[in-house]
Structure 1
Amino acid sequence: MQRDRSVDSEQTKPYLGNIPRDAAENVTAMEWARYLGREFGPTGAINALAYYRDIDWISEQARRLMIRHVRGLSLEELDRVSDDGVELDGTLDSLAGSPFERHAKSLEFIAKMAGTDVESDLVSLRHPDEHTVN
């Protein structure tokens, strides 16, 4: 049975409504901007952010802030290879090598900044009967 998103308010709002201004979240946002810039190029990163907003992974406010981060990247930052500063939980590592790999890693960045657990959301998708409304 498919979940009714209109009834479940947690599913109708973005994972990431805004980006907290503390130092740790700012580092994560900058690393995500670098990741997006490297993986998609600056224009593709901006398009990916619009897509993430459209599917409610991020809010319009978060999209605008991330666009500023992406536009502020230097060529050197776009060429840097690793994300040494941010530890992601790797919940979606099973998508490595798939067409969804880059978006899955973005979702991990989003979840980290939002303080949510991607794995619990995946469990609810795998077992929709546990979350149905009668």
Structure 2
Amino acid sequence: MSSRIEQQLQRDAGIPHTYYEILVRLSEAPSNRLRMSELAVATQGSRSRLSHAVNRLEQNGWVKREGIESDRRGQVAILTELGRQKLIDTAPGHVEEVRKSIFDALTEEQVEHLYDVCATLARHSGDTVDRAAWERN
């Protein structure tokens, strides 16, 4: 299942899922920016792997980095307008592939159970699941 989703992103957008997730996380963040350390936690990746990915996203003009004045070692990653457009262009095909790969195989009752499990896990980790967004997808 995840390989089909990865293949779709590579085929249609020319990016791995990791890059897509970084763009999504930045688009959801206040002012479209996150500290690199926060982005590493959000994407559940190592700092070195994240740094490599952000370097590639910077080369494409989709993300830029800025230093933090109050923290000489800290940096923030910022989604650019080009990055936002890449996400807008990529999202419909990605959402469709996720729907086909996961949700189309489930009954409505199973989808409801899946939501309950995801919401419970999100609460346990201090996060939330947007019910309206879940139902739209």
- Normalising by structure 2, report the TM-score: 0.28
Higher helix share: 2
Structure with higher strand content: 2
Give the structure-1-normalised TM-score.
0.28
Structure of higher RCO (CA pairs closer than 8 Å, 6+ residues apart): 1
